[in-house]
A and B are shown apart, each in its own frame.
Chain A
Amino acid sequence: MPSEEKQVGYPYIANSVPQVKEQMLREVEAESISELFEEIPDRLRLHRKMDLPQPFLSEYALRRHVEGVLAKNVSTQEVISFLGAGCYQHYVPAVCDEVNSRNEFLTAYSGRTYEDHGRFQALWEYQSLMGELLELDVVSLPTYDSYQAAATCLRMAARVTGRKELVICQPIDPAKLSKILDYCRPGLEIIVVKWDAETGLIDLAALERAISAKTAAVYFDNPNFLGAVEIQGEQIAELAHQQGILLVVGADPISLGILASPATYGADYVCGDIQPLGMHMSYGGGHAGYMATRDEERLVQEFPTRLVGISPTVVPGEYGFGEVAFERTSFMKREGGKEYLGTMSNLWAITAGVYLALMGPKGMTEIGQAIITRARHTMEQINTVRGVKAPYFPSAPFQEFVVNFDATGKSVAEINRALLAQGIFGGLDLTRSFPELGQSALYCVSEIHTLADIKRLVNALKGVV
């Protein structure tokens, strides 16, 4: 049915007005809209109306429908959640949402500094603020998430060294490892090193056996996936550097007000997720991966992502911005560029910048202290519950730790179901991904968990096990 006959004036389609369409058709010398599609042969046409649900034409009806569906969710605002494992519930300052809701930032895309000077400045400031947190001079605009950041840092390291082997230290999120395998396998060999069963940290002897002059990079997360702070970074860096291997460390940026940046103990690349810095969890939609390194040309030239640079303009004292070494990208060289470039996660970069500017040096120190203090308190309190062991490993945590329920005779699944009934999301069930840990769960605590919240959890656990 030709659309000219339709009666709906679609609010998002300004020219959805029959008289206007007719006037425009006359201007382009077409009899009908369908004439404009004459290049599409009949055999490729859909000769029927699409079979789609009836629309909600009014905004009110749409809102009713979507909110009705979303009402079936139970959000972490309605319960107390102890879930982490790569996505973290922190307080999001109101100014973060205010800035990333600004229509100018929300709807801009990839113009030049001449149209989007403010966007460039905000993005360059993100790089700079992260640079201070990481103590590194080069921070790129973010990629999709921490998984992609780790995978790209590893491929960069392989190109820099010209070597083909990557050594990944456990414990690592199995999902992240899956991504690294998918992204790095073309042409690269991946060796996974098992953790030390006693400490839950990296098994240095096993790592030493795994690396060689063929190794391009060693990767580990700090804190690691099971929550422990990896304390052997300096030795690992030494081991690696002795053989010309680059060290890539994944770090949670919210820990870096109190924990040393991996750059200070020898990491050549530091990467991770900026979701904790002002992004809502949004069922996993708030992620963006940061990547940072030293200011050495050989390292910089391997980045596939955008790097904003600052410069003077024709007006003295004015700052201008532009793209650094853009020739390296696939936008300039297609398959000859470094990996590939496309739309990434810039709104979250701007937001993380806002977050760091709001927090300042004192805020980042205080939030680190608040998190680790509350996590340690929670761990100790959980450990008082009969049959429950926390932490499972003797190593020091930052915000996450493994809780083991073997001695309770109950499964994590049973316990979490019982906690859910009391309005508590228990820690992530590890029994499928880490069967060697028995009935264990990964608990996460942040600055938002009050003393009362922690008491509620502990009391609930006492009733359940």
Chain B
Amino acid sequence: MNALDFLPEQIKDEKTTARFYHQAQWTERLIFELSQPGQRGVLVPEVEPEILAKDPDPLAALPDKLRRKQPPALPEVSQVHVLRHYLRLSQETLGAGLVPDFGMATSTMKYNPPINEQLARSPKLSELHPLQDERTVQGILEVIYRFEQILKEISGMARFSFQPRAGSHAIYTNASIVRAYHAARGEAERRDEVITTIFAHPSDAACPGTAGYKLITLYPEECGYPSLEAIRAAVSERTAALFITNPDDTGIFNPIIDKFVEVVHTAGGLCSYDQANANGLLGITRAADAGFDLCHFNLHKTFSTPHGSGGPGAGACGVTESLARYLPVPIVEFDGQKYYLDYDRPDSIGKVSSFYGVVSNILRAYAWAMSLGADGMREAAEVAVLNNNYLMKKILEIPGITAPYAEGKRRIEQVRYSIEELTKETGIHCLDFALRMADHAAHGFLSHHPFVVPEPLTLEPTESYSKTDIDEYAAAWSKVAAEARSQPELVKTAPHQSAVHQVTEHDPFEDPDHWAITWRAYQRKAKVRDASK
């Protein structure tokens, strides 16, 4: 099948049909294969002769064993070729800036405003050392302090720490605070269980698990969330906390969330609200209103800081007044005259990361919040939810696709769909479907594991995108669903218009004799394989 066969039809009316797309394909070699001995990418400032003359061998004081014998076997590449190499790789990357990135769901791929990027890259932030005298960093401390006030109002919580460097890091930090709270009450040993739900992010299980807790995982009823009976049965004198997302990956809001909190509180446990998916709730409902003791936001989701190819993000942990003493050190305080870092917090869990977290993302998030205000953030939430329900309407018009649980009910920020009926009819699985969507400039996140929803695909349109974007995206789904019926081989062998084609072998990823995580390992293993042939 020649991709160009599609072209004339696509161009006719691109607003209502799937867009024709072909990714850049540079067949770019590995950086090591570009090496030309003697080429330089950048030169190091020369040491002044006056210094060098006095100290011709600065390593003389070190034992021979500590001196590197051979320079590292890095490639030697001129600057123009390094830049060109990475520009080509960037063109072979489907950044969220290029598309309505609905298919990277649960990640809130909203617009990342360039103004915030420019502000964060100002030397007045980028060239600050974290241990400078407080008098020289009043501006950035003020930003951190002001943003804390904003998050306090959005969540209803009393204090925040921005030290976690991503969402899961914030969940871990909250688990650590839970541990400190029970330890202070002499109950750390006894309270060794954390309750979560299967549709909550894997980190809501894995982070408390890493912090030493045993997990109890609740499964949803037909309504999309666990029953009150299930949570009542799960709590005991061993309950340390509940770690729960709402809405979780289905986009269904759990309307008895406050009852869950009551049950856990009655049993002596704390409740931690995963607000990674808070984008549809800004100004609508708050963690504190449901009685939570802790919550966290991902600044790289709701607050629009870019995802950076997988970080750095930023996590914000919010807690009630009574838990504030356990927050990581330091926190930013204001004495009416100046901002300062408060390390004098004897009950703190200590440090969870270096310095104060990803401060540039705190600034980006602050700028985003200050560009919208209360009305604008509520508008963002409302439009995100409108977009999601509109997209759901379009997707559910496609035969063979359903949205399991809570049929007929509205969803908040995202929806986990199932193509199971389509799979039964055509043999096309959700992964095949997702890979064919790559030919339409789309990512295709399926679901976290395990797949409770059969043949899952999850979509989250956020507030950023237009009705036309949604129509175009839904048209691509419709087209791929039709192809599943008419040309299943085309779908199964996709992508056809990406920079790279299907990887069919599993050995390179699962077999220790084959996997190659670095160029040196690749060369070594290739040699062994060649020799054995």
- Distance from A203 Cβ to chain B, minimum over Cβ atoms (Å): 18
5 residue pairs A–B, Cβ–Cβ below 8 Å: A59-B115, A73-B137, A125-B30, A273-B354, A311-B503
A319 adjacent to chain B (CB < 8 Å): yes
Q: How large is the interface on B (under 10, 10 to 19, 20 to 34, 35 or more residues)?
A: 35 or more
The residues of B that contact A331 with a CB separation of less than 8 Å are 202, 448-449
B7-15, B229-237, B358-366, B419-427: which lies at the interface:
B358-366
B317-325, B344-352, B476-484: which lies at the interface:
B344-352
The residues of B that contact A315 with a CB separation of less than 8 Å are 501
B265 adjacent to chain A (CB < 8 Å): no
Q: Is the CB of A137 within 8 A of B51?
A: no
Residue interface bits A131-142, CB-to-B below 8 A is 1, else 0: 111011111110
- Distance from B230 Cβ to chain A, minimum over Cβ atoms (Å): 18
Q: Is the CB of B203 within 8 A of A122?
A: no
Q: How large is the interface on A (under 10, 10 to 19, 20 to 34, 35 or more residues)?
A: 35 or more
Q: Is the CB of B351 within 8 A of A179?
A: yes
B112 adjacent to chain A (CB < 8 Å): yes
Which of B32, B211, B283, B515 is within 8 Å of A325, CB to CB?
B515
Residue interface bits A278-322, CB-to-B below 8 A is 1, else 0: 001111111110000001110010000011111111110011111
The residues of B that contact A104 with a CB separation of less than 8 Å are 90-91, 93-95, 97-98
Residue interface bits B202-233, CB-to-A below 8 A is 1, else 0: 11011111111001010000000000000000
Q: Is the CB of A121 within 8 A of B72?
A: no
Residue interface bits A415-458, CB-to-B below 8 A is 1, else 0: 01100100001001000000000000000000110110000000
Instruction: List the 4 closest pairs (A to B, CB-CB), nearest first.
Output: A342-B168, A284-B355, A186-B212, A55-B373
B533 adjacent to chain A (CB < 8 Å): no
Within 8 A of A (CB), among B476-533: 494-495, 498-505, 507-510, 512, 515-522, 524
The residues of B that contact A65 with a CB separation of less than 8 Å are 370
A182 adjacent to chain B (CB < 8 Å): yes
Which of A87, A107, A129, A450 is within 8 Å of B130, CB to CB?
A87
B380 — nearest CB in chain A belongs to which residue? Answer: A13
Q: Is the CB of A3 within 8 A of B379?
A: yes
Q: Is the CB of A310 within 8 A of B508?
A: yes
Q: Is the CB of B206 within 8 A of A281?
A: no
Q: Is the CB of A46 within 8 A of B508?
A: no
Which of A37, A59, A81, A103 is within 8 Å of B284, CB to CB?
A37
Which of A46, A307, A343 is within 8 Å of B289, CB to CB?
A46
- The docked-state distance in angstroms from the alpha carbon of A117 to that of B443 is 12
Q: Contacts A114-B435, A132-B74 known; A76 to B169 CB distance under 8 Å?
A: no
Number of A-B contacts (CB under 8 A): 726
Q: Is the CB of B90 within 8 A of A105?
A: yes
Q: Contacts A101-B117, A283-B137 known; A123 to B309 CB distance under 8 Å?
A: yes
Q: Is the CB of A13 within 8 A of B44?
A: no
- The docked-state distance in angstroms from the alpha carbon of A354 to that of B50 is 32
A215 adjacent to chain B (CB < 8 Å): no
Q: Is the CB of B350 within 8 A of A20?
A: no
The residues of A that contact B92 with a CB separation of less than 8 Å are 116-119, 121
- Distance from A412 Cβ to chain B, minimum over Cβ atoms (Å): 12
B123 adjacent to chain A (CB < 8 Å): yes
- The docked-state distance in angstroms from the alpha carbon of A256 to that of B66 is 10
Q: Contacts A283-B128, A288-B312, A363-B44 known; A333 to B355 CB distance under 8 Å?
A: no
B190 adjacent to chain A (CB < 8 Å): no
Q: Is the CB of A258 within 8 A of B68?
A: yes
- The docked-state distance in angstroms from the alpha carbon of A181 to that of B348 is 13
B399 adjacent to chain A (CB < 8 Å): no
A145 — nearest CB in chain B belongs to which residue? Answer: B354
Residue interface bits A58-72, CB-to-B below 8 A is 1, else 0: 010011011101111
- The docked-state distance in angstroms from the alpha carbon of A308 to that of B176 is 30
- The docked-state distance in angstroms from the alpha carbon of A272 to that of B73 is 20
The residues of B that contact A154 with a CB separation of less than 8 Å are none
- The docked-state distance in angstroms from the alpha carbon of A265 to that of B69 is 12
B43 adjacent to chain A (CB < 8 Å): yes
Which of A16, A43, A281, A448 is within 8 Å of B129, CB to CB?
A281
A179 — nearest CB in chain B belongs to which residue? Answer: B351
- The docked-state distance in angstroms from the alpha carbon of A156 to that of B307 is 27
Q: Contacts A25-B386, A39-B410, A87-B130 known; A322 to B74 CB distance under 8 Å?
A: no
- Distance from B504 Cβ to chain A, minimum over Cβ atoms (Å): 6
Q: Is the CB of B354 within 8 A of A83?
A: no
Q: Is the CB of B40 within 8 A of A83?
A: no
- Distance from B239 Cβ to chain A, minimum over Cβ atoms (Å): 16
Within 8 A of A (CB), among B298-351: 298, 300, 304, 306-313, 349-351
A341 adjacent to chain B (CB < 8 Å): yes
Q: Contacts A49-B283, A104-B90, A139-B517 known; A357 to B85 CB distance under 8 Å?
A: yes
Residue interface bits B65-89, CB-to-A below 8 A is 1, else 0: 1111101111111010011011111
The residues of B that contact A288 with a CB separation of less than 8 Å are 311-312
A206 adjacent to chain B (CB < 8 Å): no
Interface centre among A100, A265, A357 (most CB of B within 10 A): A357
Q: Is the CB of B206 within 8 A of A330?
A: yes
Apart from A283-B140, A285-B361, A340-B206: 16 A-B pairs, beta carbons within 8 A: A8-B379, A10-B380, A39-B253, A46-B283, A50-B374, A52-B374, A70-B122, A95-B86, A144-B166, A175-B354, A186-B179, A300-B515, A320-B500, A348-B312, A359-B44, A451-B48
The residues of A that contact B285 with a CB separation of less than 8 Å are 40, 44-46
Q: Is the CB of A182 within 8 A of B352?
A: yes
Which of B41, B217, B359 is within 8 Å of A284, CB to CB?
B359
- The docked-state distance in angstroms from the alpha carbon of A238 to that of B516 is 29
Q: Is the CB of B283 within 8 A of A372?
A: no
Q: Is the CB of B306 within 8 A of A106?
A: yes
A141 — nearest CB in chain B belongs to which residue? Answer: B310
Q: Is the CB of B212 within 8 A of A8?
A: no
- Distance from A341 Cβ to chain B, minimum over Cβ atoms (Å): 7
A89 adjacent to chain B (CB < 8 Å): yes
Q: Is the CB of A335 within 8 A of B463?
A: no
Residue interface bits B259-301, CB-to-A below 8 A is 1, else 0: 0000000000000000000000011111001100000001010
B343 — nearest CB in chain A belongs to which residue? Answer: A432
- The docked-state distance in angstroms from the alpha carbon of A317 to that of B128 is 46
- The docked-state distance in angstroms from the alpha carbon of A186 to that of B47 is 48
Q: Is the CB of B72 within 8 A of A107?
A: no
B407 adjacent to chain A (CB < 8 Å): no
- The docked-state distance in angstroms from the alpha carbon of A73 to that of B339 is 12
A15 — nearest CB in chain B belongs to which residue? Answer: B383
- The docked-state distance in angstroms from the alpha carbon of A35 to that of B382 is 11
